[in-house]
Amino acid sequence: MLTNDQPINTIRAEMGTEISLSKLPGRKSLTESRIERNGLSAGTVAPEFTLPDVNGVPISLEKYRGRRVLLVFSDPHCGPCAELAPHLVRTYQRRREITTEIIVVTRGDVEENRQKAEAYGFEFPVVLQHRWKLSKKYGIFATPVAFVIAEDGRTARDVAVGVDQIRAVLHEEFLHTAVERFIDTREDISRVLSSPIPRRQAFRIAASMAAGALFSVIGMQKTAVALACSTGYTACGTACCSNSNQICCNATTNTCCATSLVCCNGKCCLPGQVCNGSCTQQFQL
C-alpha cells in the first residue's frame, strides 16, 4: 500500500525498463504536485460528504453539524488500523454523556469491510470512499489518520497521524477517567511485554507507562516520565526522545522528531519540507 511519504519516481515496464513518471506527458512528480498531502490544518472547513456505510445506508457529515466528530481514515489491509480498532471501540462504549461521535472512512470491498466492522464490534458508522477520493479532499493519503471536526464544521486541530497520535486525541476528546486510563495502561503494558523488543527496553517502556498513568492522576505525569527515561533520553509527553538524534516536537502527542527534520507546529515535516505555518515542500529553482 502506498502512503503519502513514499517516493514514486519510476515504474518498471513489462520488459524490465524503468520509466520516469515525472517524464511522462502531463505527469508531475510529488514535489511538483500542488495536491495537499499533509492534511487539512486546524480551522479549515471540513469537506462535506455523503457516503454509503457497510450496510448501504447513506451517511452524511451534514447531519452531524452541531456535534464534534472524530473522522478516522482507515483501510482493511492496514496493520496499524487493526491495532487502533479496539481503542476506538472501548472509547465509544465509554463515552456516555460525551457528545463526540466517531465515523470511520474506509475503502475497498464492501463485504470485507462489513466483516471486519462486525469482528471489531464497531457500533459507529463505517463508510466507504471510492479509492482515495475523500482522502484527497482532506489532503492526506495515509492510514490511519484522524480529524476532529468541531460543532461549526471546521477542523478543530491538525490531523493526527498514526496510532499514538490518534489515541492521544481519544484521551483528550472523550475525557477518560483515572480508572479507564489504568485499564488502557494495563493493556498497553501487556502488549509491550509480549512484544519482540529487548526485555530491558520493554521493562523501561512499561515502567514509563505505569508511572505516567499513576502520576497523571495527581498532575505529575511529566515528572514520572522524566524519571522513567534512561540516561541520554529526554521526556516528551509519555515518550522518551534520544538526545543524540531527536528533539521533542509535541509533548501533547508524544512526538519525537529526528534532528534532520523540521518540527512545524507540533508535527514532524517530511524530508525536504520546510515550515511555513504548516509543512510544505521546498522548491528549488
The fold of 35-174 is Glutaredoxin (3.40.30)
Query: Is 269 a residue whose pLDDT tops 60?
Result: yes
Q: Please give the average per-residue pLDDT across 209-217, as a whole number.
A: 64
- Look at 49-53, 131-135, 236-240, 268-272 and tell me which has the smallest mean pLDDT: 236-240
- Helix, strand or coil for residue 199? helix
15-29 per-position pLDDT tens digit: 333 334 344 444 454
Q: Is the dihedral of CA 89, 93, 98, 103 positive or negative?
A: positive
Query: Is 10 a residue whose pLDDT tops 50?
Result: no
Domain boundaries, the chain: 1-34, 35-174, 230-285
Say what the pLDDT of residue 14 is. 33
CA-closest candidate to residue 41, choices 252, 258, 254, 266: 266
What is the DSSP track for 83-137? HHHHHHHHHHHH-TT---EEEEEE-S-HHHHHHHHHHHT--S-EEE-STTHHHHH
- What CA–CA distance (Å, rounded) separates 12 from 62? 44
Q: Are 208 and 240 in contact (CB under 8 A)?
A: yes
89-105 per-position pLDDT tens digit: 988 887 766 678 999 99
Say what the pLDDT of residue 130 is. 94
**pTM, whole model, 2 decimals?**
0.60
- What CA–CA distance (Å, rounded) separates 211 from 198? 20
Over its C-alpha atoms, the chain yields an Rg (Å, rounded) of 20
Average pLDDT, the chain: 78
- What CA–CA distance (Å, rounded) separates 165 from 161? 6
Q: Who wins on pLDDT, 217 or 18?
A: 217
